[in-house]
Structure 1
């Protein structure tokens, strides 16, 4: 009986441990600083998490499809710099679509190399991380970018505006999450993404075009990155050319926290949203607790290790390796 109880507890912690830890964090931060649960603070955390969340929505498709995308941080820097530059050169009406087209081209290149040429996604996107940063620096001449006429443009509506009292970044994040959740859960394409990520060989023998599915997951990821770049550029009307540096790890942490498996074949958009919010509230709680911002990097690393451990434990049904 005691052995059954330990196994049962282990299985529970493997599947729900991160949610239990989140509740403990929330209660602990609320006791340390009551402002943590204030409505304006909660709304502010969701708003500040929207950019990360939008990127994570696209990466969810990639991870469920059995791959990784480590190029999203550098790609967001590129899209942010490009849309700011094209805003002044072409105007926002033409500049925004042009930025989307350029960012989608980068995503298509990732998808071609990984989907059709069957190259390793970790190696390809890690290489693209550096390549796109070089492209961004080349495009900007190594300089940061600012909109010339910040007072006379409607471009700020995406990052600074609101819709019915709700900040625009939250509305964009929520709207995109709903659309992509329906795409993943209710369409044949979504079922094929799960099939390819769960067992690519079996999916191919079942007549599923694996290469095409992988290709489109990277297109979806790049579209989300472009949207995040649009929000970032609109929020500040200016940007450093390294604004997305390091975001790939935070995005991956949020996706895995939400329950998507690094092995592919499992995860949902809704749970990714929860993972993004968990990460956002933990970071906010650390700041309100008086810890310096750089502590967040250590906490993010711990969260990634914990999330991967729990993911593997959930697959084998126990927290510890049977060999140990």
Structure 2
């Protein structure tokens, strides 16, 4: 009986280790500072994490498919600058679809290189990180972008508005997460993504169009980046041309923290959301504890490593690897 109970607990931890770690962090920070669990603070953290979270949802598909996408930070800068610029030139009604079309073209180009030409995703997206950054600076002329008439536009709805008392960025994040979770877990495309990431060669011999699946994961990732850029531009109605710089590493950290394997074939949208929230609440909790901002980076890194280690340990049933 005791052995059965131990196996049941071990099985639960193996599947939900990262969720347990998240709850532990929440309890510790709540004890350290009661303001941490204030409803306004929680809402504020989720709202500020929405942009990172939306980007992470798309990257989850790319990583599960066995690839990487380090271009999302620069691509988010590009989409933000483009939609702000087009807002004053052609109006928000045309600026939004125009920006999405341009961002999707970038995603399609990356998907073509990685999927159809079978180039290494790390090299391609690392190169595109610099290329898109240069494209953004060229497009903006090296200048930051601001909407001229900030008082008379409905464009701020996506970043500053609310529905039923819930901030719109949170609603966008939640709805997109729910929809993509269904796509990944309940559709043939989702199963193909897992198959390609788990064993690309076997997937090809099984009749799965590997190149097309990889291509579509990058299209999906660029769509999520464009959505994040829309929220960012709408929230501030202006932006620096480097607003997304460095976000690619935070996005990847959230996806990996959520349990997705860099080798591909594993991961879920739900756990990516948990990974995003862990990062957001860790930073917020450390801030409320009065920790200096430069020390927060170190502590955040330690907590991330600890959470991932405990998650892996729960899956293999021991803290240390049996292989010396």
Q: Is the 8 A contact 1:11 1:319 kept in 2?
A: no
Question: How do 1:1-324 and structure 2 match up within 5 A?
Answer: 16-303=16-303, 305-306=305-306, 309=309, 318-324=318-324
- Give the TM-score normalised by the residue count of structure 2: 0.92
Aligned length: 323
Q: Distance in 2 between matches of 1:254 and 1:166?
A: 24
Shift of 1:321: 3.4
- Structure 1's 116 and 86: CA in aligned 2 closer, same or farther, altered over 3 A? same
Shift of 1:318: 4.4
Q: Distance in 1 between matches of 2:308 and 2:88?
A: 44
Q: Is the 8 A contact 1:14 1:319 kept in 2?
A: no
- Structure 1's 151 and 268: CA in aligned 2 closer, same or farther, altered over 3 A? same
Q: Distance in 1 between matches of 2:315 and 2:38?
A: 38
Q: Is the 8 A contact 2:65 2:265 kept in 1?
A: yes
Residue deviations 1:80-122, cap 9 Å, x none? Answer: 0110001011111111111101101111111011101111111
Shift of 1:320: 2.8
Let me know the Cα RMSD of the aligned residues. Answer: 2.5
Residue deviations 1:277-317, cap 9 Å, x none? Answer: 11111111011111133334334433554466567657766
- Structure 1's 28 and 270: CA in aligned 2 closer, same or farther, altered over 3 A? same
Residue deviations 1:124-150, cap 9 Å, x none? Answer: 111111111111111111111100000
Q: Is the 8 A contact 2:19 2:274 kept in 1?
A: no
Shift of 1:7: 11
Q: Distance in 2 between matches of 1:267 and 1:292?
A: 33
Residue deviations 1:238-278, cap 9 Å, x none? Answer: 01111111111111111112121111111111111111111
- Give the TM-score normalised by the residue count of structure 1: 0.92
Q: Is the 8 A contact 1:181 1:268 kept in 2?
A: yes
Q: Is the 8 A contact 1:54 1:173 kept in 2?
A: yes
DSSP 3-state at the match of 2:293? coil
Unaligned runs of 5+ residues in structure 2 are none
Give the stretch that moved more between structures: 202-211 or 179-188: 179-188
Q: Is the 8 A contact 1:108 1:219 kept in 2?
A: yes
Residue deviations 1:14-36, cap 9 Å, x none? Answer: 66554443333222211221110
Q: Is the 8 A contact 1:52 1:251 kept in 2?
A: yes
Q: Distance in 2 between matches of 1:21 and 1:129?
A: 32
Q: Distance in 2 between matches of 1:104 and 1:208?
A: 23
- Structure 1's 210 and 300: CA in aligned 2 closer, same or farther, altered over 3 A? farther
Give the stretch that moved more between structures: 99-108 or 15-24: 15-24
Unaligned runs of 5+ residues in structure 1 are none
